[in-house]
Structure 1
Amino acid sequence: MSVIEATLKPYSREWLLSEQPTSRHQARLGRAYVIWRRFSANRLALAGLGIIILLILVAIFADVLAPHNPVQGDLRNSRLLPPGSAGYLLGTDDQGRDILSRLIHGSRLTLFVVVLVAIIAAPVGLIIGTVSGYAGGWVDAILMRITDIFLAFPKLVLALALVAALGPGIENAVLAIAVTSWPPYARIARAETMTFRNSEFISAVKLMGASPFRIVLRHVMPLCLSSLIVRVTLDMAGIILTAAGLGFLGLGAQPPLPEWGAMIASGRRFILDQWWVAAMPGAAILIVSLGFNLLGDGLRDALDPKEAGQ
C-alpha cells in the first residue's frame, strides 16, 4: 500500500457515510461529504459555482489578464472601436479605453461590494434575529418593529437616500447597501430560532447552567447558519444590481473606476450606434448575477433539512 493510499484510507466513502461516527471530526466530514454529493448532482449549481470561481480568479489576476490600462485610453486613435478591432476584443468606449480591461478590473469592485455587504449585513441580521427569537417579549417586539421599518422602504430607494446623505463613493455605497440588506436575514434567523428555542436540547443546555448569551452564541446561531448562507448567496445578485444601479446614477464608484453600472451609464448615449459600450458590462452583470442565483439554488437544495432526511 502506497503512502497516499494509507493516508486516504481512513477517509473512504464508507467511513464518511458511517451512521455511527466515532468522533466529531468524522461527523463533520461526513455531513460535508453528503452536502457536496447532493450539491454536485445539480449541474446548474455546478455551473453557477464555476462562474463564481471564474469571477474570483479574474479579480485576483486582473493585472495579468487585462491587455490594456483600464482607466486610460487613446482618444485620438481608439475611440469607440467595435468588438474584434485590432487589440480590442470587446471594443472601446468613448474615452478610447479597452472595455475588456475595464470589465476585468471591474470584477474586483463587484467582489469588493458583495463580500463587504455579506460581512456586514449577515452577522447583524443573524444577531438581531436570534436574540429576538430567543428572548421574545418586549425585546422581540422592539427589534422586529425596527426591522419592519427598514422593510417598509424599497431597498434601492433607501440605499439612494443613504448614499445621497453620505455622499457618492464606493465605500458609502457598500454601507448603504449593507444597511438595507440585513432585515431579511433577521427575519429568517428569528423564524429559525423560534422553531427550536423550546426544544429538548435547549432545555438540557439550560439545566447544565449555560447562560442565555452562551445558548444563543454556541447553540442557536450555528443552527441558523445554513438558511442564512443560502439567503445571502441568493441575495448576491440583488446586491450586484443595487450597486450597479447606484453606479448608473453616479452615486457609487466614481470615474474613472471601472464599475460596471457606471460603464452602462456612460454607454447609454451610444446605445443605438455603438451598442457594445453598454451591452458588454450589462452582459457581465447578467452572467455574474445568474451564477450567484444558480449557486444559491443549489445550496438551498443541498442544505434543505427535508432533503437531508430523505
Structure 2
Amino acid sequence: MTNAHPTAPAHRTPQFLTATRNILVFLARQPTSLFGLIVLAVLILVAIFAPLIATQDPITQDLNNALQSPNAAHFFGTDELGRDIFSRLVYGARITLTVIFLVTIVVGPIGLLFGTVAGYFGGRVDTVMMRITDIFLSFPSLILSMAFVAALGPSLNNAIIAIALTSWPPIARLARAETLTFRKADYIAAARLQGASPARIIWRSIVPMCLPSVLIRLTLNMATVILTAAGLGFLGLGAQPPMPEWGAMIATGRRYMIDSWWLVTFPGLAILSVSLAFNLLGDGLRDALDPKQMNRR
C-alpha cells in the first residue's frame, strides 16, 4: 500500500501522453483539422519569432513610402504612414495570441466553476447562478463588451477584461448541463457515503468529466474572441495606435481602401484565416474526444 501512491503518477503520465498523441494523430488525418493545426502552429511561430520574420519596424513611419502597393521591399505594401503592413501583421499575431490566451485562462475556470457549482447543488443556488448567467446571455457579446470598455476606458487590457466578462456564460451553461448528467451517478453517491465534501466531489469527480466538453467549447469560442477583439479595435475601443492590432489596421485603412485595397485585405485575411482555423480545429477536437470515434480507432 505504501508504494501505490508514488507509482500512480508514473502510470498517469504515459496514459496522458498516449491520449494526446492519439488526438493529434486523429486531427492530422482530417484535412480540415489539419488546416486548423497548421494555421495555429504558424501563428504561434510567427508570434514567437516576430523580430526575425518582420522585415521592417512595425511602428516606424516613412511618409515618403506611404500607400505603396505590394512589392519586393514591402511584401504586403505600406499604409498611409508608410509603415510596412507585413511587419505589422507579424507583430499583430502577438496581440491576437495574447488576447486569446488571457481570455481563455480567465473564462475557462470561471465558467467551469460557475456551472459545476450550480449543477451540483441545484435548487436556489442553481436558480440564482443561472439567472445571473441569463442576464449576461441576454445581451449580444460585442454590444456588452463595448459597454464594459466604454466604462473602463479604451485600451487593449480593458478590451481583454470586457471580452472575458462576456465570454464565460456559455461555458457555465455547458458545465452545468454536464454536471446535471453526472451528479446522480453511482460514483458520486459512493463519494458522498465515504464522507467527501461537496468541494472535493466537484473538483475530483465532476470537473474532470466536464473538461473535454469545456475544452472543445473554448476552442470554438476562440474564433468569437478574435472577432470581438477585432471589432473593438475597429471601433477604436481596443488596442490603441500605434499598436499593430488587426482590427485597428482595418479601421485606419478603410478610408483608403478604394485605391489601396491591400490596407484592409491582408488584415482581413489574417482574421478570417485564424478564426476559421480555430473553428475547424474545434470541430476536429470534438470528433477526436467523441467516445464513438475513440472506439472506432
TM-score range, shorter chain: over 0.9
Partner Cα distance (2:111, 2:17) in 1: 28
Partner Cα distance (1:203, 1:211) in 2: 12
Deviates more, 1:55-64 or 1:299-308: 299-308
Match of 1:61 among 49, 52, 56: 49
How do residues 130-279 of structure 1 correspond to structure 2 at under 5 angstroms?
130-279=116-265
- Give the SS at the match of 1:95: coil
Deviates more, 1:29-38 or 1:183-192: 29-38
Please give the TM-score of this superposition, normalised by the length of structure 1.
0.90
For the pair 1:31 / 2:19, whether they are aligned, the reply is yes
- For residue 109 of structure 1, what is the aligned residue in structure 2? 95
C-alpha displacement of 1:38: 2.8
C-alpha displacement of 1:279: 0.9
- For residue 83 of structure 1, what is the aligned residue in structure 2? 70
CA spacing shift, 1:143–1:91, aligned 2, 3 Å: same
For the pair 1:129 / 2:115, whether they are aligned, the reply is yes
State the one-letter code of the partner of 1:218: R
Partner Cα distance (2:228, 2:274) in 1: 14
- For residue 48 of structure 1, what is the aligned residue in structure 2? 36
Match of 1:71 among 59, 62, 70: 59
CA spacing shift, 1:102–1:26, aligned 2, 3 Å: closer
C-alpha displacement of 1:203: 1.1
C-alpha displacement of 1:119: 0.6
Deviates more, 1:289-298 or 1:300-309: 300-309
Sequence identity, in percent? 57
State the one-letter code of the partner of 2:58: P
Deviates more, 1:133-142 or 1:23-32: 23-32
C-alpha displacement of 1:202: 0.8
Partner Cα distance (2:148, 2:254) in 1: 25
Partner Cα distance (2:47, 2:19) in 1: 31
C-alpha displacement of 1:206: 1.4
Partner Cα distance (2:277, 2:103) in 1: 18
C-alpha displacement of 1:139: 0.4
The alignment's C-alpha RMSD in Å is 1.4
State the one-letter code of the partner of 2:70: P
CA spacing shift, 1:143–1:74, aligned 2, 3 Å: same
Partner Cα distance (2:152, 2:13) in 1: 47
C-alpha displacement of 1:308: 2.7
Partner Cα distance (1:87, 1:62) in 2: 17
State the one-letter code of the partner of 1:50: I
C-alpha displacement of 1:64: 1.1
Partner Cα distance (2:274, 2:168) in 1: 22
C-alpha displacement of 1:37: 3.6
Deviates more, 1:123-132 or 1:24-33: 24-33
Partner Cα distance (1:25, 1:82) in 2: 52
Partner Cα distance (1:280, 1:217) in 2: 45
C-alpha displacement of 1:24: 3.9
Residue ranges of structure 2 left out of the alignment (5+ in a row): 1-9
Partner Cα distance (2:256, 2:249) in 1: 12
C-alpha displacement of 1:81: 0.2
In the TM superposition, structure 1's runs of 4+ consecutive aligned residues that sit over 6 Å from their partners are none
Partner Cα distance (1:243, 1:57) in 2: 21
State the one-letter code of the partner of 1:60: I
Partner Cα distance (1:154, 1:208) in 2: 45
Partner Cα distance (2:59, 2:24) in 1: 41
- For residue 7 of structure 2, what is the aligned residue in structure 1? none
Partner Cα distance (1:25, 1:235) in 2: 28
Residue ranges of structure 1 left out of the alignment (5+ in a row): 1-21
- Give the SS at the match of 1:225: helix
C-alpha displacement of 1:27: 4.1
Please give the TM-score of this superposition, normalised by the length of structure 2.
0.93
C-alpha displacement of 1:158: 0.2
C-alpha displacement of 1:125: 0.3
